[in-house]
Amino acid sequence: MIGRIHLSENLELLKTLPEESVDLIYIDPPFNTGKVQKRIQLRTVHSSIGNRIGFQGKRYESIVVGSRHFDDLFDDYLAFLEPRMREAYRVLAPRGCMYFHVDYREVHYCKILLDAIFGRASFLNEIIWAYDYGGRPKNRWPAKHDNILLYAKNPSDYIFNYDEIERIPYMAPGLVGPEKAARGKLPTDTWWHTIVATNGKEKTGYPTQKPLGILRRMIQASSMPGDLVLDFFAGSGTTGAAAIELGRRFILVDSNPEALKVMARRFDGRDDIEWEGFDPTPYQSVHRQGMLFGHNADSMGTANATSDRGSGCTDARFAGSCT
Ligand SMILES: C[S@@+](CC[C@H](N)C(=O)[O-])C[C@H]1O[C@@H](n2cnc3c(N)ncnc32)[C@H](O)[C@@H]1O
């Protein structure tokens, strides 16, 4: 079997995985997972029309002076993440790494949480995934990036396949000579990559789908062929698709049946995936086999496929780096 896909609440599932059994983790947790606990702050004032009667028959009313909505939401988010991050640390192999994908508004708080669990020295990188898509507010700089925190279980011994990382074109190839220009350069911690195009072949229809190109880069750099990759906020299964392409095994977990339906279609035609808690067959059809990589599924499983890998991931894969 190359992979296993679970319809499950991830904390429960994580608890069933053996210690140090996973070589690489990528997660892209949603925000707003915690309960919204809008705590209203009230002040009591004298009022002739107030409905509360106090000392000497005076009337009072309560007025709303504020709300702690966002704090509470955020406290809940960290409380939601913490036990899952502790499990992630437990199941990660001694040389394993975790990529934690998050929004620029939460990244600072999440880093403090992850530093506490992994240890500050285990923090290797903050990767900026930069894209250029969508509206531009006129009252501040348009936010056009996500943040990906990279942690190693053991900061003095972890997998980083420097030589395997796909090179990208130089910005000014004329300045580096033809040989260097032909080889390209290694990416830095700032990755320019298009989002999944709304009408592209890679699109699955899952609203938060991430591009295969960025998952491919992480998996190639931080795992070996045959290794086990875990994504317990799997969504449309991008991590699994990239793992298959690179010859890695995978475990995907999502609690939303809609995500499992999308994955059923995405991995249609593969009989080397186990499904737990969900029957994919009603959503599969031989006619849908092209969805996995945006072209014929025959090319699945090739460890170093260099052909078209879906929209936004061919020559223009890291388009911003070429400009
Ligand atoms: C931002 S999406 C991930 C998208 C994914 N990276 C992709 O490329 O499609 C987050 C996913 O986490 C799932 N999720 C949220 N809470 C969960 C939980 N407690 N257990 C399992 N899955 C959960 C949601 O259903 C959603 O599909």
Tens of each residue's pLDDT in the chain, 323 residues: 999 999 999 999 999 999 999 999 999 998 754 444 454 556 666 777 666 777 677 776 766 555 445 454 556 888 999 999 999 999 999 999 999 999 998 999 999 999 999 999 999 999 999 998 888 999 999 999 999 999 999 999 999 999 999 999 998 999 999 999 999 999 999 999 999 988 889 999 999 999 999 999 999 999 999 999 999 999 999 999 999 999 999 999 999 999 999 999 999 999 999 999 999 999 998 544 455 544 333 333 322 332 222 333 322 333 333 22
E strand segments, 68-122: 92-102
Ligand 1: lining residues by beta carbon, under 6 Å: 9-10, 28, 30, 33, 206, 208-210, 233, 235-236, 238, 253-256, 259
Inter-residue contact 112 to 171 (CB < 8 Å) = no
Is 132 inside any structural domain? Answer: yes
- Whether residue 67 lies inside any domain: the answer is no
**Tokens standing for 113?**
């949480």
Q: Which two tokens stand for residue 321?
A: 């780096």
Q: Other CB atoms closer than 10 Å to residue 82's CB: what's the count?
A: 14
Please state the separation of Cα 209 from the chain's center in Å.
9
Compute, in angstroms, the gap from residue 27 CA to the centroid of ligand 1.
8
Report if residue 69 sits inside a domain.
no
**CA distances from residue 172 to 50, 149, 191 in whole angstroms, order as listed:** 72, 29, 17
Number of domains observed in the structure of the chain: 1
What is the CATH classification number for the domain harbouring 266? 3.40.50.150
Domain range enclosing 303: 3-36+74-322
**Torsion angle (degrees, nearest 10) of CA 255, 31, 268, 239:** -110
CA-atom Rg of the chain in angstroms:
23
Ligand 1 site-directed mutation target among 229, 255, 258, most atoms within 8 Å of CB:
255
- Pairwise CA distance, residues 220 & 163, whole Å: 10
In a domain, 55, yes or no: no
Edge-first strand listing for the sheet containing 40-46? 40-46, 59-67, 52-53
For ligand 1, atom 7, the nearest C-alpha belongs to 209
Residues paired with 25 in a beta bridge: 98, 230
In whole angstroms, give the CA distance from residue 30 to residue 239.
Answer: 16
Answer yes or no: are the C-beta atoms of 151 and 92 closer than 8 Å.
no
- Determine the distance separating the centroid of ligand 1 and the alpha carbon of 10, expressed in angstroms: 9
- Decide: 138 and 98 in contact? Cβ < 8 Å: no
CA distance 236 to 282: 17
Q: d(Cα 177, Cα 222) in Å, to the nearest integer?
A: 30
Give the whole-angstrom CA distance, residue 145 versus residue 132: 8
**Is residue 53, in this structure, part of any structural domain at all?**
no
In a domain, 58, yes or no: no
Q: Is 230 a member of any domain? A: yes
Q: Which residues does residue 108 pair with via DSSP β-bridges, in sequence order? A: none
Residue 283 token pair:
């959503």
**Distance from the CA of 8 to the center of ligand 1, in angstroms?**
11
Beta strands at 3-7 and 273-276: parallel, antiparallel or unpaired: parallel
Q: pTM of the full predicted structure?
A: 0.80
Q: Identify the H or E element spanning 65.
A: strand 59-67
52 falls within a domain: no
As a dihedral over the C-alpha atoms of residue 132, residue 136, residue 139, residue 143, rounded to 10 degrees, the angle is -30
8-state DSSP, 164:
G
- At residue 231, the 3 state secondary structure works out as strand
